Structure 1
Amino acid sequence: MSTKKFVKDSFLVTVLGICSRILGWIRDNYLLEFIGTGAFSDAFSLSVKIPTSFRKAFSEGAINSALLPKIRDFEEKNAYKRLHILIINTFMIFSFLLFVFYFGEQFFEDWFLSKVAPGFNLEQKAYYGLFVQTTSFTSFIYFCYSILGSLLQSRGFFFWPSISVILFNFCLICLIKFSLIFNVSVVKIVFFYFFATIIMLLSTMIPSVIYDLFQEDKSIKIKIASFLFGFIFLFIFVSFYIKFLLFIGFYCVYLFFANQNSFFSKQSLGDLRSLFYFFAPIFLIAILTQINDVISMRFASLFGVGSMTLVLRSGKIMQLPIAFIIPVFITLFSYLNKFSKDKKTSKTLKRLSMLFVFLITFAFMLTCFLFTEGIIKIIFFNKVSAKDVVIMKKLVKLYSISLPALLMNRLFQMFFFVEKSVIIPAIISLNNSICYVFLMKIFIFYSFDLSSVVYPFVFCSWITFFLYLILAYKKEML
């Protein structure tokens, strides 16, 4: 029965995931038509990459992996008040760190760009400075979305976190299409992006209140949600120094509220500590993955204007098979936690998921090799120049080679997380990042070609895969 339910939920989320990727594909094409592939595009891509990296780290990795087991434990004990306090404390601590990063990025923008995109010219830097004031704040919105998505998934509501991404893409498509028809300034794209993230957050916040996830008075949650949205909208439209004052005021309100409601009791701090012991290695893995992406963008910027965009666009083609697989991971992790003590069911789910990942990725890899140019032209509506198509063909083939290993590594990480063994994946990810940087420098030194940005990614993905496979069999996980 559990296996049938897993397949049913996986199918639902997979269909929604595919719809999301298709809309993302349409969105990227309209975006390509709207902002092009020059300095403006590079600056916007980098300004969006940072919050997107946080979203991937939180919503597709660390938060889900750390919170879901904890939520299950509290639900079994009917300790909803402890869960409520843990969620709020976790939210406030990480939002504090995100705000510190936000203000730090504003104060040290020149230094940050010199490290992340040393190849940026003055025009690209000017555009980046214009965008980042708005896009960086969306990291906070993504974090709110991740917390609520984890709560919904823990109760079996997989529909809402999945539909929220569809709404995000649909909203952005409509706004960009409107801009193309009425010749709206391209600078407005950053506000469109912000508005779409708000829609995505609302699509998880409203169901979390309706379904009463905290088993408490809804009026309290409505007040908290109203305060949060008021803060977000006020924060985004005021000057930098007023933002800083709002930030201080926001945490003063929290500290007062926490003190009045015993949020810092010995039990609450113990729950928070146990969560962070489990969370820290998982978050390290997620952040290292995103750092590798930023490193690839850094080196891509050395190849001139538009190179960063070409690397990102080539990587985007891999989103279609990922649309089939990531939703399975989301439902699988929830079910593996639920049946962690039933070894037979757990192993059946693991083997089914491994077979599914292998078939999808292998089929897509063959398709990319046989019909590379056709795929690029279809996905980008023939809006890529002949010169760029030649470069992208090689990049897409390289990315497709790494795809089976990349997604199997994600799957193996999940198996280790379920077994509460988070240190091993953290060490593997750290070694992978070190190896990645080392190989990147070697490839670029000996072959100054844009494909040298992707070669290290391919090598590291497959080395990590074989390492995970050996360890998984050694620990009898399969």
Structure 2
Amino acid sequence: MLKKAFFTNSSGIMCSRVFGFLRDLYTAHILGAGIYSDIFFIAFKFPNLFRRIFGEGAFTQSFLPSFIASQKKGIFAISTLLIFASVLFGLSLLVWAFSGFFTKLLAYGFTEEMVALAAPIVVINFWYLELVFIVTFLGTLLQYKNSFWVSAYNTALLNICMISALYLSRDAQSLQIVYFLSYGVLCGGVAQILLHFYPLLRLGFFRLFSVGFRHMWRVYFVRAKMHWADEGSKKVKHLAKQAKADIKMFFKQFFPAILGSSTAQIASFIDTMLASFLVSGSISYLYYANRIFQLPLAVFAIAISTALFPMVAKAIKNHEEKRALKSMKKSFWFLFVMLWVCSIGGVMLKDEIIWLLFEGGSFHRSDTLASANVFAMYMIGLLPFGLSRIFSLWLYAHQLQGRAAKISAISLLFGVVCSLVLMHYFGASGLALAGSLSGMMLFVLSVKEFGLSRFWDIIAYAKGWVLLLAIGAIEVGILYVFLHFFHIN
């Protein structure tokens, strides 16, 4: 089951990322790395941050254990959906009303003229937040039934819509292109939601929604008309009490998990804000480099942790710790080897990768070299960021989101301090290096909380270390020969 779920996730993520790279390639070719690309990336940063928090972190890792434990799954699911949808709708209205303030918050280093240009773009992109929550909610329900393909492939629809928007506006002025691209984001969100409907229907979730709505109607509307001593009233009161307890437990886990599972995303958000104080194009360098960095992280770390989490959570609930640890050990070594190979290749081929993917049109050789240095600094943190996800699952499965939040808060604070220091010496590359140092801190603290004895049981595998060193040596030799014959100036 784990292998099937992993390959479903990884193939879907790879498909989505391929379209994502085509989107970024097209964006770089049309907008380059300048003021208008910076405006769009700033506007897209906030909803994209929440997409990653919801889709790859806090919501999924808090909702799924609560949903598994819930006795009244229908009313719990519907209540959660309505609460979040209402809050996010209100937040989107707030951003619309005070767009200038929120834009300045996103890019404090922007001039007033740039803020005025970016504010409407920020508002358009922020509405995607409502859509992406619905996508994540529906995808998490499907994960409960071990159906992963929709969550893996749905991001491709977002990228396809954005590519279409770029194509339709390719001959327009730069600012108009940014508007088209922003509306393409919203179209992509709607398409992502629609993709979930068939598997939800096939797996019986619409019946669950129907039951949940009926229970909510009884709890919040019919109950008021019942006599307190009626048998029906007592049942409704019990239902309301159970639903309230489930929601309370979920939010008790959710709020710490917002920080606990979102270190990389929050750090990237802060880096973007700090980069607005650097030379023009720094935000774009960070964005393009981070996009490539996210590929191996998504294809391997996120894919395997997404597949592993429901299995670990169910095993912990059934008091089968040994089975959970066995699955974690297999996942750890597979992930270690894959990320080790990617890290070596990324650092050694940093210039060639950026050149191959982005150089051309308005993206010049100087942009390639600057982005490549940023990319290399990101790749240093690939292993610790990826492996820390395995050990974080242990805490989330035990509903210890508070401890995970504490670990992430420490690593995030450490990363921010490093960013403030290193950006003065290395610019955008310093911000990326600070993120990698934060990832190392996150890994060390996660392993400590997981337990050193359990960690030793996982890494005490001599054949694995021999294989790791052999693969690394062979890869370095092959890439050294390759670079001897082919490299860019």
Query: Which of the five TM-score ranges fits, normalised by the shorter chain?
Result: 0.7 to 0.9
Q: Is 1:362 equivalent to 2:354 in the alignment? A: no
- Which whole-Å CA distance do the structure 2 matches of 1:23 and 1:16 have between them? 11
Kept in 2: contact 1:362–1:404 (CA 8 A): yes
Following superposition, the deviation at residue 270 of structure 1 comes to: 1.2
Describe the superposition over 1:313-366 as per-residue Cα deviations: whole angstroms up to 9, x where unpaired: 111111221232211111110111222232332112101111122111111111
Q: Judging changes above 3 Å, is the alpha-carbon distance between structure 1 residues 344 and 37 closer, same or farther for their aligned structure 2 residues?
A: same
Match of 2:140 in 1: 150
Match of 2:311 in 1: 335
Q: TM-score, normalised by structure 2?
A: 0.82
- Which whole-Å CA distance do the structure 1 matches of 2:291 and 2:275 have between them? 15
Give the 5 Å matches for 1:108-123: 108-123=98-113
Give the 5 Å matches for 1:247-258: 258=220
User: Structure 2 residue aligned with 1:269, among 215, 239, 244?
Assistant: 244
Q: Judging changes above 3 Å, is the alpha-carbon distance between structure 1 residues 255 and 106 closer, same or farther for their aligned structure 2 residues?
A: farther
Match of 2:369 in 1: 390
Give the 5 Å matches for 1:142-221: 142-180=132-170, 185-186=176-177, 187-213=179-205, 215-216=207-208
More deviation in 22-31 or 435-444?
A: 435-444
- Which whole-Å CA distance do the structure 2 matches of 1:164 and 1:58 have between them? 14
Following superposition, the deviation at residue 444 of structure 1 comes to: 3.1
Give the 5 Å matches for 1:3-18: 5-18=1-14
Letter aligned with residue 102 of structure 1:
S
User: Which secondary structure does the structure 2 equivalent of 1:283 belong to?
Assistant: helix
Following superposition, the deviation at residue 194 of structure 1 comes to: 0.8
Q: Is 1:417 equivalent to 2:417 in the alignment? A: no
Letter aligned with residue 86 of structure 2:
F
Following superposition, the deviation at residue 138 of structure 1 comes to: 0.9
- Which whole-Å CA distance do the structure 2 matches of 1:350 and 1:433 have between them? 25
User: Which secondary structure does the structure 2 equivalent of 1:170 belong to?
Assistant: helix
User: Which secondary structure does the structure 2 equivalent of 1:157 belong to?
Assistant: coil
- Which whole-Å CA distance do the structure 1 matches of 2:173 and 2:428 have between them? 34
- Which whole-Å CA distance do the structure 2 matches of 1:256 and 1:9 have between them? 38
- Which whole-Å CA distance do the structure 2 matches of 1:372 and 1:443 have between them? 20
Give the 5 Å matches for 1:315-334: 315-325=290-300, 326-334=302-310
Kept in 1: contact 2:350–2:376 (CA 8 A): yes
- Which whole-Å CA distance do the structure 2 matches of 1:210 and 1:381 have between them? 45
- Which whole-Å CA distance do the structure 2 matches of 1:355 and 1:286 have between them? 22
Match of 2:350 in 1: 372
Describe the superposition over 1:79-108 as per-residue Cα deviations: whole angstroms up to 9, x where unpaired: 4xx212112221222223323332332333
Q: How many residues align?
A: 436
- Which whole-Å CA distance do the structure 2 matches of 1:104 and 1:181 have between them? 34
Kept in 1: contact 2:164–2:184 (CA 8 A): no
Kept in 1: contact 2:67–2:76 (CA 8 A): no
Q: Judging changes above 3 Å, is the alpha-carbon distance between structure 1 residues 265 and 364 closer, same or farther for their aligned structure 2 residues?
A: same
Larger Rg, first or second structure (1 or 2): 2
Q: Judging changes above 3 Å, is the alpha-carbon distance between structure 1 residues 87 and 357 closer, same or farther for their aligned structure 2 residues?
A: same
- Which whole-Å CA distance do the structure 2 matches of 1:164 and 1:465 have between them? 29
- Which whole-Å CA distance do the structure 1 matches of 2:399 and 2:208 have between them? 30
Following superposition, the deviation at residue 153 of structure 1 comes to: 0.7
Q: TM-score, normalised by structure 1?
A: 0.84
Following superposition, the deviation at residue 304 of structure 1 comes to: 2.9
Kept in 1: contact 2:219–2:240 (CA 8 A): no
Q: Judging changes above 3 Å, is the alpha-carbon distance between structure 1 residues 411 and 188 closer, same or farther for their aligned structure 2 residues?
A: same
Following superposition, the deviation at residue 256 of structure 1 comes to: 11
Q: Is 1:443 equivalent to 2:425 in the alignment? A: no
- Which whole-Å CA distance do the structure 2 matches of 1:362 and 1:419 have between them? 29
Match of 1:93 in 2: 83
Match of 2:128 in 1: 138
Q: Judging changes above 3 Å, is the alpha-carbon distance between structure 1 residues 457 and 183 closer, same or farther for their aligned structure 2 residues?
A: closer
More deviation in 410-419 or 282-291?
A: 282-291
- Which whole-Å CA distance do the structure 1 matches of 2:218 and 2:116 have between them? 40
Following superposition, the deviation at residue 33 of structure 1 comes to: 2.4
Which 5+ residue runs of structure 2 have no aligned equivalent? 224-235, 459-489
Match of 1:280 in 2: 255
Match of 1:244 in 2: none
Describe the superposition over 1:118-151 as per-residue Cα deviations: whole angstroms up to 9, x where unpaired: 2213443233112122211110111111110000
Kept in 2: contact 1:39–1:123 (CA 8 A): no
Kept in 2: contact 1:119–1:304 (CA 8 A): no
Describe the superposition over 1:137-187 as per-residue Cα deviations: whole angstroms up to 9, x where unpaired: 110111111110000110111112222122222333234234337999412
Match of 1:461 in 2: 439
Kept in 1: contact 2:375–2:432 (CA 8 A): no
Which 5+ residue runs of structure 1 have no aligned equivalent? 225-253
Describe the superposition over 1:289-316 as per-residue Cα deviations: whole angstroms up to 9, x where unpaired: 4332211001111113221111111111
- Which whole-Å CA distance do the structure 1 matches of 2:267 and 2:280 have between them? 21
Q: Judging changes above 3 Å, is the alpha-carbon distance between structure 1 residues 311 and 438 closer, same or farther for their aligned structure 2 residues?
A: same
Q: Judging changes above 3 Å, is the alpha-carbon distance between structure 1 residues 277 and 117 closer, same or farther for their aligned structure 2 residues?
A: same
- Which whole-Å CA distance do the structure 2 matches of 1:216 and 1:410 have between them? 31
Please give the root-mean-square deviation of Cα atoms over the aligned residues, in Å.
Answer: 2.7
- Which whole-Å CA distance do the structure 2 matches of 1:217 and 1:422 have between them? 27
Match of 2:285 in 1: 310
User: Structure 2 residue aligned with 1:37, among 33, 38, 41?
Assistant: 33
